[in-house]
Amino acid sequence: MNSRTINKIRKKIQLDKEIALQKVLELIAAGVSVENPEQLHIRGMISCGENVKFDSNVIIEGNVKLEDGVLVGANSILKDCTIGKGTTINPFSIVEGAVIGENCFIGPYGRIRPDVSIGDYVSIGNFVEVKNANIASHCRINHLSFVGDADLAECVTIGAGTITCNHDGVGINRTTIEEGAYIGSGCELVAPLKVNRNATVASGSTITEDVAADALTIARSRQVMIENWKGPKLKK
């Protein structure tokens, strides 16, 4: 690569930086709070309401709309999404192709994939992934869970480490969870499946059939104790 080509690349890089910084300065002039102007990377179009705040090293791609009071944590990526008033995107979260309501908490390390609609006052815990799902208001999805191809009515709780088993090896199947249902930690919901209104699923259950309303469903092996068991031991 000759010196002329290198100089052209340098000039383009410098110009791109100046254009990007100008976009950030326009946001600041409009009242947006930016922790580090040089670390807000705008690679698309962004619309911000009042009192929006960005921490360091945030990437904006596509068309992003942030309503009043949105907080975006460090090292997050927002792409083609709308985020409602008062919602917090905690650090290291990725939101793509989604609509998120008001006063929600996402992450840290949350992954909101395309075709997701989230209502108001929803909590998405750390290391939670949501894909192609409709989540109504006042739901809570706790850490280390996967909710994919699912429809959750209002006031549903998903315990930590619970997954919707949406793929059967051939096609995608949906899970429907009605209002007020409580899914314990460490459950597997094998779609297609419906959990009816106010149902409770015990922790550690593998659910393969529809769950009745207003009932407790337990689907796990009974605990067995074998005395004087000689298990493997590590050698010193």
Residues with a known catalytic role: 143
Quick count: other Cβ atoms within 10 Å of Cβ 31? 11
Three-class secondary structure assignment of the chain: CCHHHHHHHHHHHHHHHHHHHHHHHHHHHCCCEECCHHHEEEEEEEEECCCCEECCCEEEEEEEEECCCCEECCCCEEECCEECCCCEECCCCEEECEEECCCCEECCCCEECCCEEECCCCEECCCCEEECCEECCCCEECCCCEEECEEECCCCEECCCCEEECECCCCECCEEECCCCEECCCCEEECCEEECCCCEECCCCEECCCECCCCEECCCCCCCCCCCCCCCCCCC
Contact 196, 216 (CB under 8 A): no
Question: Alpha-carbon distance 60 to 119, whole Å?
Answer: 22
Question: Alpha-carbon distance 183 to 175, whole Å?
Answer: 13
